[in-house]
Structure 1
Amino acid sequence: MKWIKPSIYFATFSLLSALTAQVQAQSYHPHKTWQISQAFNPPQRGKPPASAGGSTRGGSCLTGKKLIPLIPPDNLGLTFAEHPTFFWYVPPSQVKTAKFLLQAEDQNVFYETSFTLPDQPGIISFKLPDSTPALAVGKTYHWYLTMVCDTQDSSENLTVDGWVERTQPESSLSEALAKANLYKLPTIYAKAGIWHEALTSLVQLRQTEPNNIKARLDWRQFFKSVGLSAIASEPLIDCCTSRNSTPN
């Protein structure tokens, strides 16, 4: 039997201990308990009309990557918020203006605005302003985001769409949310199938601690669970502020 020299043993042990401590230091926060890997749990709900959701029209002004809405596979995102936040991936483009339209169930315009797109590609967001009417509980709204490629010929413009529905949490879920910190919120929302708040809370966590390994892993797992792995590495871009708006 060949003996290992004590000096080599202790050097190896010290190296392993240092590496372990480094990983723990990057992922551990005192008094903050992480949940299981992040994955979105689609709610058992009726699907939106067959004509809706994630469809793309026009867009001859774009080459390469696509404009991608960050929505669940069934194209319907649930929210508890009166004024939810919407997210999209915007590809490299010379287009400077986007239009956002929100329609009520009767197809009347609920809200309409335009905003300036960032110069660099990445994931952008737009929050429905607090000054607009609140989304009604139990109502489904159809939204459209259009990149204005040609101000004269709208057929050249690129449009994606989806649906949003406001719902209310059960008492047990409300209690859990009230007690949760930023580290627990994404998991609670994702398990409950509340898309808009699950994604919004994950974005807030990424922005608060951009170098946190666990936050990055949960972010990737969340995107993978809804088929959006291709854009999980894209940067979060500070955007967008409404130029003008037309509330209902």
Structure 2
Amino acid sequence: MKLIKSSQYFLVFSLPLCLNFTDSTFTAQAQSYQPNKTWQISQTFKPPKRGAPPVSAGGSTRGGSCLTGKKLITPLTPPNKLGLTLGERPTFFWHIPESSVKTAKFLLFADNDQTLFYETSFILPKKSGIVSFTLPDSAPALAVNKTYHWYMTIVCNAEDSSENPIVDGWVERIKPELALSEALAKANLRKLPAIYAEAGIWHEALTTLVQLRRTEPNNLKVRLDWREFFKSVNLSAIASNPAI
């Protein structure tokens, strides 16, 4: 695959042409798992004790003319924009405001934004809310202890991408400690979100919490945990929005 910097990639698509989107590796560990903790007490997400992700290389957050009221896309990430995962192909989440455009593009870069690792497009729902995208089986698996830079943009204007709203973030796959693996193997869906949140595993914490919210939409405890989780990462403003 030809190497291309992400900043160059988006510069190319800002030209007024009708185009289509056709090793700094460091060890990351989840914070120590506490097997005797009563997980039902809190749903607060606890970021792992580790450094911040690399400085963004061309990524930004901006509004777009096709978003109602020129509102912004809100990526569902921890405050430092780096989400840890245990999976080969994690799920990503964003809050998307109402828009007349229904096509979004997702790009994933590796090697300090030198390599385009994966790209695809997907259709957005008809109404605003929290949407998700899971890397499909056809996508390459994330390597352990490697950081990837992702971008998501809505195609408001196919000829001039400067009008397209875009957000970015980072994802890193890590290997869980033995105690965490054993706890996850024994837990049911009700306990999984809190275990992941306590361990600082962002993608699985949010994914299982969404699954639980869909499975038990009228469960008051689940709804309170949902709000507590979002509050802990400064996303209270969108906690009341539906997961579509």
TM category (shorter chain) comes to 0.7 to 0.9
- Contact 1:220/1:232 (8 A) holds in 2: yes
In the alignment, what sits opposite 2:99?
Answer: 93
Deviations 1:118-150 (A, max 9, x none): 110000000001222110000000000001000
Decide whether the 8 Å contact of 1:189 with 1:195 is kept in 2.
Answer: yes
Matched residues in 1 for 2:166 and 2:61: separation?
Answer: 5
Matched to 1:72, the amino acid is: P
Corresponding residue number in structure 1 for 2:165: 158
* DSSP-derived class of the 1:57 partner: coil
Partner of 1:223: 230
Q: Specify the alignment match of 2:130 in structure 1.
A: 123
Paired residues of 2:63 and 2:72 also in contact (CA < 8 A): no
Which position in structure 1 is the counterpart of 2:47?
42
Give 1:43's aligned amino acid: P
Q: CA RMSD, aligned part only?
A: 1.6
Question: Aligned-pair distance for 1:54?
Answer: 8.0
% identity of equivalent residues: 73
Q: What is the CA distance between 1:34 and its match in structure 2?
A: 6.6
Report how far residue 217 of structure 1 moved.
0.2
Per the TM alignment, residue 236 of structure 1 is displaced from its structure 2 partner at its CA by 1.1
Q: Distance in 1 between matches of 2:132 and 2:203?
A: 11
**Counterparts of 2:147 and 2:62, CA distance in 1:** 22
Number of aligned pairs?
205
Matched, 1:104 2:115: no
**What does the per-residue CA deviation read over 1:208-234, in whole Å, with 9 as the maximum and x for residues that have no partner?**
111000000000000000000000010
| Aligned pair partner of 2:202 in 180, 184, 195 | 195
TM-score, normalised to structure 1, is 0.79
- Change over 3 Å in CA distance of 1:195–1:118 after alignment to 2: same
- What stretches of structure 2 of length at least 5 have no aligned partner? 1-37
**Bigger radius of gyration, 1 or 2?**
1
Cα distance in 2, alignment partners of residues 65 and 44 from structure 1: 33
Matches within 5 A, 1:167-186: 167-186=174-193
Kept in 2, the 8 Å contact 1:53–1:74? The answer is no
After superposition, the Cα gap between the structure-2 partners of 1:85 and 1:34, relative to the gap in structure 1 and judged at 3 Å, is: same
Find the aligned partners of 2:105 and 2:43 in 1 and give their Cα distance. 32
CA distance in 1, matches of 2:60, 2:195: 29
Classify 1:120/1:53 alpha carbon distance in 2 versus 1 (closer, same or farther; 3 Å): farther
Describe the superposition over 1:45-82 as per-residue Cα deviations: whole angstroms up to 9, x where unpaired. Answer: 11112226983135233225321000000100000000
Instruction: Confirm or deny: 8 A CA contact 1:140 1:164 kept in the other structure.
Output: yes
CA contact (8 A) 2:95 2:238 kept: yes
Q: Which amino acid aligns with 1:101?
A: L
Contact kept, 8 Å, 1:89 with 1:122, in 2: the verdict is: yes
Structure-2-length-normalised TM-score: 0.81
